[in-house]
Structure 1
């Protein structure tokens, strides 16, 4: 199972959460950023609908797959 980490970081004069190289909007306080990260992490674990998807890989080849709605990552919020 995939794991997605939400990390609380100082950003642009305030606080944000970071997932990989992507940083959220800036929040005024640490507690606001932490609450937003916990909310986003919880929503990401919610199951959805099973659906067919198509995507193009880096070599320009197209692929078709079925994405099961219950195949959600485990998430965790890291606050150092």
Structure 2
């Protein structure tokens, strides 16, 4: 199972959650960013309808695959560098 980790980090004079190298919008407080990350993490785990997915990789090759709608990743929110888990 895939695991997605959202980290709460300082960003652009405020706070954001980050997944990999991608930042959310900037929130004025740590608490606001944490709440938003918890909402996003919960939504990541909601299943959907079966569908076909097409995507292009970094070499420009297109791929197609089937998603059964129930193969959702585990999502976790951590504060800072990943030391302490905040929510799942």
| Structure-2 residue corresponding to 1:41 | 41
Q: Deviations for 1:23-77, whole angstroms, at most 9, x for unmatched residues?
A: 00000000000000000010011001111223344363x4332111000000000
Q: Bigger radius of gyration, 1 or 2?
A: 1
Separation of aligned partners in 2, 1:76 and 1:22: 15
1:76 matched to 2:70? The reply is: no
TM-score, normalising length: structure 1: 0.89
- Paired residues, what number? 79
Q: Which residue of 2 aligns with 1:15?
A: 15
Unmatched tracts of structure 2, length 5 or more? 81-88
The alignment yields a C-alpha RMSD, in angstroms, of: 1.4
SS in 2 for 1:10: strand
Q: Which runs of 5+ in 1 are unaligned?
A: none
